[in-house]
Amino acid sequence: MSGKVKLLRYLANLGYGSRREVLGLLGEERVTDAAGELLYGDDVRPHEDIRIDGEALDPAPGLLLMLNKPAGVTCSTKDQGKLVYDLLPKRFRLRSPVVSPVGRLDRDTSGLLLFTDDGQLLHKIISPKSKLPKVYIAELANDLRGNEVATFASGTLMLESETTPLLPAELDVLGPRRARLTLHEGRYHQVRRMFAAVGNHVESLHRERVGGLTLGDLPEGEWRLLGDVDRVKLFA
């Protein structure tokens, strides 16, 4: 993209400031190429050849990243309390197009959350046609009754206030009050509402996988950029 867009606009779109603020960076001779030569607002250069204060730029447009979201953090730009954007570089929320969560995890749910500024990729991931599996670990308030595996796999379970039954979901019992649930759709608060429908309550919820991606050893509250191999794994 940087090979087609003038530097002034490109840096503004990456969140380095308004056009006036980026002009200030240029005027202060803080923007150079990799060899240290000064760059100007009308220049057109590859993303990887641009430096600000000698540092490489933030990830190029079309990025995909994963965050290990802690519980107690909200997927929003404006709500009160701690936000997922507080865990990312500040410029990410200023970019155009914006770096957006791919779907959402509610405030009390932890785990794998994807972000991208690529609208087509976002749509592909969340599209019902993709049916990407999303895997959760649920800690429950009450013992499982024993019929939940069959109920969730039936394809007939209805959630309150909805008129379309859920797609079949796989439940693995990990303990009397602990289970792994694999979904192939993404309805509002689906895991919590599914367990409520069978008379239970989710005490804590953690998403451990989306498609073929897992958090691996990514610490809670940290993020990492995903590369081509990760993208293939996501849809594998």
What are the pLDDT digits (tens) for 165-205? 999 999 999 999 999 999 999 999 999 999 999 999 999 99
Residue spans of the domains in the chain: they are 7-56, 64-128+212-235, 134-210
- 43 catalytically annotated: no
Domain range 7-56, its CATH number among 3.30.70.330, 3.10.290.10, 2.60.120.10, 3.30.1600.10: 3.10.290.10
For residue 21, report the phi and psi dihedrals to the nearest 5 degrees.
-70, -35
What's the predicted TM-score (pTM) here?
A: 0.91
Domain 134-210 matching CATH 3.30.70.1560: the answer reads: yes
The pLDDT value given to residue 3: 60
Is a pLDDT exceeding 60 seen at residue 136? yes
Closest CA to 35 of 14, 49, 24: 49
Class of domain 64-128+212-235: alpha beta
The pLDDT value given to residue 2: 60
The pLDDT value given to residue 97: 93
Average pLDDT over residues 115-128: 94
For residues 25-37, one letter each, b for 16 or more C-beta atoms within 10 angstroms of the residue's C-beta and e for the rest, the string is bbeeeebbeeeee
Query: What's the mean pLDDT when you consider all of the chain?
Result: 95
Are the folds of 64-128+212-235 and 134-210 the same?
A: yes
Options 106, 108, 117, 228, the catalytic residue: 106
What are the pLDDT digits (tens) for 221-233? 999 999 999 999 9
The pLDDT value given to residue 88: 95
Peptide bond into 97 cis (omega under 30): yes
d(CA 201, CA 143): 10
